[in-house]
Each structure stands twice: as C-alpha cells, then as structure tokens.
Amino acid sequence: MSPDRRFRRLGLVVHPQRPLDQALATIRAWADIHCDEVVQVRIDGQTREVAPAGDPAACDLIIALGGDGTTLAALHAAAPGGRPVLGVACGSLGALTATSASQLEDALADVAQDRWTGRMLPGLEVTGAGGAVHGAINDLVVLRRGASQVIVGVEVDGEPYVRFAGDGVVVATPLGSSAYTMAAGGPILSPGSRAYVVTPLAPHGGCSPPLVVDAGSRVRLSVEPGWGGARVELDGQVLDLESRELEIGWRPELATLVAFPGGEGPLTGLRRRRILLDSPRVLARDDRAAR
C-alpha cells in the first residue's frame, strides 16, 4: 500500500443550518494526521463559522458539508482555482454528493490513498452587457419579476428559433436538465452529452418546444421584461445583470467533482431519489411477481 497523501490545506464549505457535528469531528480527526491546515471557504450570505477563513485557490481539496446546494456553492468557489470538491451529504444523498456523513471516514481514507477520480462538470458561459462572463453549472434562468409576462427571443448561431411571451426561460446543462428544466417539461439530457437545452417557461400560445442545442452552437436570448421587470439567476443565485441581451455558450470543463470507483451513476441516483419512476403498471407487475 502506498503512503497516504499529505495535504497542505483543506477547505470547508458548510450548510448554514444542518447538523454537522459528526462530519466536522471526522474531518478534524483525519486532518490531524493528513493535513497541515483546515480553513473555511466563505460563501456570500453565509454566517456560520467552523474554521478560520481561507482562500479556495490555496486549498488542495474543498469539502462541502450539507447537500447539493452546498456542493454547488463549493464548486463555484473552487472553479477559478481548478480545485476538486468532495460533496458530503449531511442528510439525504443527492446528485452531487459522493458520500454521506456516516461514511465520510472511509471516503477520506480513499482520498488519502488517491483512490478517487475527478468528474469534470461542463457548464454554460453567459455573457452580458460589457462582455462580463459568468459560469453556470446547472442552469441559467430568466424569470418575470412581477405579475406581467416577459417576452423572450431565442436565436441559435444567429438563426431565429422562437419568440414567446411567458414566465421566462431555462437554459440547462446535462446535469441541470433533471432540475428546473425537467419540472418545466423539458428533456433530461444523458450524462456525458455534449449539448444543452433551452426550455420556455409557461409560454402563452404559439409553439415553442424545448430545444436541445449542440455544444458547438451559441444561443442568444433577447429579453423584454415588461412593466414588472425580470431577474436572471445562475444556479439559483440572482445575478446583478440588467442586460436584455444574453449570449450563452458551452464550457467543457467548468468544475471538478470528486467521485469514487463503483459510485452511483447519475441516472441511478435519479431513480433512487424517485425523480425518475417506473409506471404504476410495471411496478404492479413487479409486486405480483414478488408475491
């Protein structure tokens, strides 16, 4: 067996409310042996403190303690420095968490022995006014802010696709396609697909089905916010972006997620969480066979 790897600095991103005592105790005991320093990566709006503040770019590994939302925040913090993120479920196991708090000791042992792989997550590059570029791992959402509708025009590589009035639009990666996009009637993209999907939200009349866009193409959204206004969200975070023209492209490697050999696949995870569910007729047949 090769000697355990020693880490210079470990970063933590924590859920603001969930119980974390078990996971924190496991990390601190492990860090006493394998790590020189443990710091906390501060997230905007987060006041909970479990360790001294530190720069995510200076960390060898970032551990997210909470759930998918916490892991997503950690991925955004880690992405500029190219740091990997280990998602730890302190509750139910989600799509981005690789282990649970109860199994964290074994997961950290695998990390120390380099028995893990980096799962590269693609993302969206969103360009607004002035050329400012933002990244989304799950989705970009444009939503009406008041009671009035917004009008959205969609172009792909300069070719008009559709203009519609409605609640807004979602543009999602394969990872994000099982979230808001699916809830709005859009398709799930297979993990590993080099494509993203544009899904109109509650379009009023006309014909504007969800559109799957090749990774090599660029989408332009033109937004007329109406009297109530509109807001732009990237991965659930409101973006201070007043531009009515948004250009969206594909980034093949936006963030790195820690994964372990033999871990659960994305589609299996969707079935376990019953986001994907077999039809009642098939389930009834299985029940009869079991009896």
**Distances in whole angstroms, Cα of residue 277 to Cα of each of 160, 174, 187, 207, 274:** 36, 19, 15, 28, 5
Q: Which residues belong to the active site?
A: 68
Under DSSP, is residue 243 helix (H, G, I), strand (E, B) or coil? coil
CA 106 to chain centre: 25
285 Cβ contact partners less than 8 Å away, ≥ 6 residues apart: none
Alpha helices for the chain (secondary structure H): 21-34, 68-78, 104-112, 180-183, 266-272, 280-290
User: CA nearest 197: which of 132, 251, 124, 247?
Assistant: 124
Question: Rounded CA gap, 16 and 40, in Å?
Answer: 13
